[in-house]
Amino acid sequence: MTQKYWIVRSLAFGLMLGISGKAVAQMPHDEMQPSGAEQPTQFQRIDQPLWLKSAVTAGGIGLIGVELWWFLFSQSKSRKADTNQGIQEATITVDGGYEPNRIVVSVGQPVRLNFDRRDPSSCLEAVRIPDFHIAKDLPLNQVTAIEFTPTQPGEYPFTCGMNMFHGMIEVQGTKRLEATAQNLVSQRS
């Protein structure tokens, strides 16, 4: 997803440069025209048809729109984990990022995240969930299961090995009695 985002972004940027570059290149030429009558000028004005200019401009604006939409609306895709036999399970596709990149689970129940790695880039060859002290290699074209049990509600990020791609595990619910009791014990000691 992020790779596609950058491709769209650089395309839009390139088109903007093209439009502004053309405008700048034409300006000095117009000013030079009085003296250009004496010396044969090497530059020849190429008038591009209006439809082409409009098409390029419309294309650029369209791509900027796509970029904005991408940035504002398609960044975060969340999914609630399915519960099977007491285990909350979700599959995360690893392909140019994490899809979905936000997993919603309940507190106090085991979680199993199945990372389905399809992206060969070495950037995504490992995944880390620092709050649960998890760091695991993800072999290409395989599903790697990662299991843990959240005992506190909150948001727990997961990232690639280099901390470039990010996802979030959202743990919902109230604190379990056991967890509260354990905290009380550890506070006293």
Q: Which residues bind Cu ion (CB under 5 A)?
A: 123, 160, 162, 164
Q: Which is nearer to Cu ion, 111 or 160 (CB)?
A: 160
**Cα dihedral sign, 24-28-29-31:** positive
Provide the 10 A C-beta neighbour count for residue 25.
10
Q: Which is nearer to Cu ion, 83 or 144 (CB)?
A: 144
Minimum Å gap between C-beta 68 and Cu ion is: 26
Between strands 166-172 and 154-160, the pairing is antiparallel
Minimum Å gap between C-beta 162 and Cu ion is: 3
Between strands 166-172 and 111-117, the pairing is unpaired
Q: Which is nearer to Cu ion, 81 or 129 (CB)?
A: 129
**Smallest Cα–Cα separation from 11: which of 62, 53, 47?**
62
Minimum Å gap between C-beta 101 and Cu ion is: 14
